Amino acid sequence: MKQDTHPTYYPNCKVYHNGEVVMTVGATVPEMHVEVWSGSHPFFTGKQAFVDAAGRVEKFQRKFGGNYFSKDKKGK
C-alpha cells in the first residue's frame, strides 16, 4: 500500500447532536456535528419533530396562505 494516500483515521470520532455527544464512531474527522440522528428522527422515536430547512415552511405558507384553496376555479 502506498504511503500518504489515505486520510487520517480517527477511531474515536465523537458525534454531537444539540451540543451533546450521542455516539462514538470511526471516521476521517475527529468530531461531527449532526442535525438529525436516529435518536431524534420521528421514524425511530415515534415522536413528531419539526425541522425547518431554510424557511421552506414560511415560503409555503406565504404562497398558499389565506383563502388560496377556497377560490373558485374557472371551468369547474
For the residues of 7-73, what is the DSSP string, one character each?
Answer: PPPEEEEEEEETTEEEEEEEESSSEEEES--TTT-HHHHSS-----STTHHHHHHHHH-TTGGGSPP
**Can you list the residues of the chain whose pLDDT is less than 50?**
none
Give pLDDT, residue 60. Answer: 77
Give pLDDT, residue 32. Answer: 93
Give pLDDT, residue 72. Answer: 60
All three cell numbers of 64, joined, read: 398558499
Domains of the chain by residue range:
10-67
